Structure 1
Amino acid sequence: MSVSATPQAPAKASFTFPFWAQIVTGLVLGVLFGWLARTQDVSWLATTLEKVGDLFVQLLKLAVAPLVFFAILVSVTNLRKVNNAARLASRTLLWFMITSLIAVGIGLAIGLLTNPGAGTGLTSQDGKLPKRTGSWLDFLTGIVPTDIVTPFTELNVLQIVFLAAVAGIAALQLGDKAQPVLTLAESVLQLLQKALWWVIRLAPIGTVGLIGTAIASYGWDLIGKYATFTADVYIGSALVMFGVYPLLLALVAKVNPVQFYKGAWPAIQLAFVSRSSVGTMPLTQKVTERLGVPKEYTSFAVPFGATTKMDGCAAIYPALAAIFIAQIFDVQLTITDYLLIAFVSVVGSAATAGLTGATVMLTLTLSTLGLPLEGVGLLMAIDPILDMVRTATNVAGQALVPVVVAAREGILDKEAYAGASSSPLDEPSPLDGRAAVAPAA
């Protein structure tokens, strides 16, 4: 007598809540809770939102110093595995400069068309000196640290990059003798990325706190005074992200721009929430690899870009802010001043260092133009709202340039690029020790 097997019911597909949907939910809840805290004067809710947001940012910053050091160190030494490494590095830097020039040009054009400082009701008495300032002397002398400990304790990212680059070049010169150190550095970097990946998973919760605090603290009244300037920053960033970048992808890299945004969107949306290019760096590197850029080149270009490539914070924003502050203080800018703004944006962008805010870069621009530094104080209150879109633009550019360079050099995997359509956060991460589909080399 034979026993027939009972047919198995098909397994139900497990429901997954996409990362982008989690972020959107966090945004909506943040706006709602922030509005309640402000309009209903719920002090405990405002305090809770502030603590949640601060804790998320602090967790991101916790790994910044060692992450930058080991990422730059490993990225420099990884160049030995890439053919034409010097050519790739120079092309990367060239496209960083080209896109920065385009971005600052858009910022200047929008500022001249809209006059963001006119009719605000703000005066020079409303400004105050910033706590942190930047000058060319500080920028140039500040690259080299006085010791190897202070850059890490004071989180001076520019000096950390310098130390890491020197260590990487020295390791390349030593050759095989430096291999134990490089193996340790790669292991530490993986450990830091794994820990930071856990923090990235908390981004939806952090979004509630950060957005809620912005609404509870500033409300919409403050934005009204800066309406034109705020709109200019967002419009300028949107033009760069969704106008200039797609054109470069289509005309220069000759790839489908839509596929780029499908692949890079998780990093862009995390940057919008976290306001930290460095904190987003592991995710930016991962999505860039999934877009078909070789891992060896990505591991150099993305960390390098996360500390120096700032189209939002160092190009669009300083250009608009300089025009805004000049109009508030009734200073007439000349053609020479506009050229100086472009120069500062291209050369001094490393001063922003991939952290939240762009105060140092702005003070560097103002001091170069001879504008009052008190103008920075006029923008501090609105800065968190502006910094979200600035950082998103930064990270989009940091993913874009490696794709453009790889495509032009013939090393972009077109099949991987075409298939980069799902969010990496919706799939098992290789940093979690689980199976994942590796990008094609």
Structure 2
Amino acid sequence: MRRIPFAVQVLAALVVGVALGIVARQLGGTAEDPNWLALTLDTVGSTFVTLLRTIVPPLIVLAVISSIANLRNTANAARLAGQTLLWFAITALIAVGIGIGLGRLFQPGVNADVDAGAAQAPDAGSQGSWLAFLESLVPTNFLGVTAETSEEAGSLATSLDFNALQLIVIAIAIGIAAVRVGSAAEPFLAFTRSALTVVLKVLWWVIRLAPLGTVGLLGNAVYSYGWTTVGALGQFALAIYTGLALVLFVVYPVLARLHGLSPLKYFTGVWPAVQLGFVSRSSMGTMPVTQRVAETNFGVPRHYSSFAVPFGATTKMDGCAAIYPAIAAIFVSQFYGVPLGLTDYLLIVFVSVIGSAATAGTTGATVMLTLTLSTVGLPLEGVGLLLAVDPILDMGRTAVNVAGQAFVPALVAKRERIMDVARFHAPRGLGGFVAPDSGEELRADAERTAADAAESEARTDAADGDEAPGGHGTAAAPAGRAAP
């Protein structure tokens, strides 16, 4: 298999997955009693996503702590964080504007042929609210773990999950505390960097399974939903995918070109994350690959990408939190005959730009949709009308989400002159990584980690020297001391 380029393996997996999904549909079966092929595809796909999600919590904690430790030597750390939030908001604003425009153009609620009897509000656990979002920022325990008990086959079963937002809050607090402690925290930071290298090694083993996981995920999606499910909601689905295509193929490329970056290199570089996001329908599950894309293909320094990508995976949702809720809100208003005024559209924009963190990178966008509908005052029962096509739409939404989560760090890195532009434009195969697909790449990444902080500081000092009167920059402070 090593003789076959990784990108070719992924492309072949897409074709095989669709073919096996079609075969599984021909074999018959139901959702409650699937045939052997459908069950196999589901098991393979879900196992791959589980492996990715398993590696996410330690990756978030270790990467964020290490990035904060590296950013202490970077004079413009606060500016990097501010620029990241700014461009998250700018691209979300553009995306929600496109969504509102397409909703008015396609009139999906007027042209829908769905039974009003299907309308039902989601359960309370899937509904979003501003209070619940604010409460979710406060860690409930040190590990950011949540437990849910349900009754299965007459017995109680407890499942554990993690809250990505809480993990980031915990990691930021620990990272800042380590920096403030000073030299006494150096052994802890050295351990964190070493542990991160080990986790990245394990991550690469999981990534190597991506072709197999793609076969299972896409095959199961074709079997479970097909493309005939769109049916009466064709106009709505068409409006969603048109908006997603405009953001992915127009907005991002135009912004890249305006900043001197090749749109083609962007597409070929972000492809591993996009294809995995499309089939897995999980930004958090795709986050390790998204971060690898940002660092390896886009030349974003690790000390910045390890902060920006995990943060983006929980808050940067142009598909789920901008385009989709905007068009869905217009659909519900048209279906129920509730007119929307200028204030309502402004509220939709506000929720999309500010409240996207409510999705928390999980599969589906029901939380964000209910948050939007409740803010505008539309009936939550309209959510039930859209559930039939949600899995199909979620594929495209997640693909655009992860594309933006890799693009914004690259854009900010280019604007702040910390991007390795040569790596961004380096030759690579369609959908492949710049460096060879082997463990050697991870070792090279580990070696770059130690040099990232010094490289960023040197570039920052050089930039300060260019801008300061007389061409003299501020001298770097000795280790362990803050610059004046």
Q: Which amino acid aligns with 1:198?
A: W
Q: Which amino acid aligns with 1:140?
A: L
Change (3 A) 1:215 1:285: closer
Are 1:191 and 2:211 an aligned pair? no
Q: Which runs of 5+ in 1 are unaligned?
A: 1-13
Counterpart position of 1:403: 410
Counterpart position of 2:137: 143
Q: Which amino acid aligns with 2:438?
A: P
Counterpart position of 1:121: 113
Contact 1:134–1:360 (8 Å) recurs in 2: yes
TM-score, structure 2 length as denominator? 0.81
Q: Which amino acid aligns with 1:340?
A: L
Measured after TM superposition, the shift of residue 227 of structure 1 is 1.7
Change (3 A) 1:31 1:416: closer
Q: Which amino acid aligns with 2:437?
A: E
Are 1:281 and 2:281 an aligned pair? no
Contact 1:134–1:364 (8 Å) recurs in 2: yes
Contact 1:79–1:300 (8 Å) recurs in 2: no
Q: 2:249 aligns with which of 234, 242, 248?
A: 242
Are 1:34 and 2:41 an aligned pair? no
Counterpart position of 1:11: none
Contact 1:262–1:420 (8 Å) recurs in 2: no
Using the aligned pairs only, state the percent identity. Answer: 54
Change (3 A) 1:31 1:298: same
Cα distance in 2 for residues equivalent to 1:426 and 1:232? 39
Alpha-carbon displacement from aligned partner over 1:8-41 (angstroms, at most 9, x marks no partner): xxxxxx9733333323322222222222222331
Counterpart position of 2:267: 261
Change (3 A) 1:172 1:369: same
Q: Which runs of 5+ in 2 are unaligned?
A: 30-34, 147-159, 456-484
Contact 1:222–1:382 (8 Å) recurs in 2: yes
TM-score, structure 1 length as denominator? 0.89
Change (3 A) 1:159 1:294: closer
Q: Which amino acid aligns with 2:141?
A: D
Using the TM superposition, name which of 280-289 and 429-438 deviates more.
Answer: 429-438
Cα distance in 2 for residues equivalent to 1:283 and 1:139? 27
Measured after TM superposition, the shift of residue 194 of structure 1 is 2.4
Q: Which amino acid aligns with 1:336?
A: T
Change (3 A) 1:437 1:163: closer
Contact 2:317–2:401 (8 Å) recurs in 1: yes
Instruction: Tell me how large the CA RMSD over aligned residues is.
Output: 2.5
Alpha-carbon displacement from aligned partner over 1:248-279 (angstroms, at most 9, x marks no partner): 1111x222222222322222222222222222
Measured after TM superposition, the shift of residue 187 of structure 1 is 2.8
Cα distance in 2 for residues equivalent to 1:145 and 1:341? 28
Cα distance in 1 for residues equivalent to 2:260 and 2:410? 10
Contact 1:337–1:369 (8 Å) recurs in 2: yes
Cα distance in 1 for residues equivalent to 2:211 and 2:336? 40
Counterpart position of 1:76: 68
Measured after TM superposition, the shift of residue 324 of structure 1 is 2.0
Change (3 A) 1:51 1:294: closer
Q: Which amino acid aligns with 1:228?
A: Q
The 3-state SS of whatever aligns with 1:154 is strand
Cα distance in 1 for residues equivalent to 2:218 and 2:332? 26
Q: 2:278 aligns with which of 272, 282, 295?
A: 272
Counterpart position of 2:360: 353
Paired positions, count: 427
Cα distance in 2 for residues equivalent to 1:373 and 1:191? 46
